[in-house]
């Protein structure tokens, strides 16, 4: 499998159990990308194979932002990722080895730090419940 192919215009913040975080972008970020809180307290693109810090996902961006602009992210609850992404019902999704990407857990490889983002749900929805393990895949 490959990372979800998310169309930014199809990303819609959820209402069922939704929780949000407001921060400042460290770099250019697009709706639907996974982000983490960097050492400067800015939101940057999460990356599962760079370091334990970059893999510590905070949430998923709800809109685009350039460096130093405000950014709203969703941290929990139902998040519509759209028909292009089409998360598979019952599949667990994690931070990808591609910066900002979201991958099915089956794609996890040796050296990735595992952070779970949620589980696929009907209606092209990701039921978010972020869990940062801090553990590297052997």
Query: Confidence class of residue 135 from pLDDT cuts 50, 70 and 90?
Result: confident
Query: What domains lie within the chain, and their CATH numbers?
Result: 8-136 (2.40.300)
Q: Which tokens sit at 85?
A: 């992404």
| N-term to C-term CA, the chain | 20
- Return d(Cα 82, Cα 100) in angstroms, integer: 17
- Which tokens is 40 given? 């400067």
Per-residue pLDDT of 36-47, as tens digits, reads 999 999 999 999
pLDDT, tens only, 91-125: 999 999 999 999 999 999 898 999 999 999 999 99
Give the global pTM: 0.94
Residue 123 backbone class (left: φ over 0; alpha: ψ -120 to 50; beta: rest): left
DSSP lists the bridge partners of residue 93 as 104, 118
pLDDT on residue 133 = 87
Over 70: is that where the pLDDT of 1 sits?
Answer: no
């Amino acid at each position: 499998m490959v990372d979800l192919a998310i169309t930014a215009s199809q990303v819609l913040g959820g209402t069922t159990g939704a929780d949000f975080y407001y921060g400042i972008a460290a770099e250019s970020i697009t709706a639907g990308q996974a982000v983490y809180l960097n050492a400067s307290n800015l939101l940057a693109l999460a990356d599962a194979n760079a370091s334990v810090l970059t893999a510590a996902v905070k949430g998923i961006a709800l809109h685009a932002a350039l460096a130093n602009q405000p950014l709203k992210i969703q941290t929990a609850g139902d998040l519509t990722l759209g028909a292009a992404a089409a998360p598979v019902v019952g599949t667990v999704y994690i931070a990808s080895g591609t910066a900002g990407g979201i991958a099915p857990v089956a794609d996890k490889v040796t050296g990735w730090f595992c952070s779970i983002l949620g589980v696929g749900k009907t209606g092209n929805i990701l039921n978010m419940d972020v869990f940062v393990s801090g553990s590297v895949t052997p």
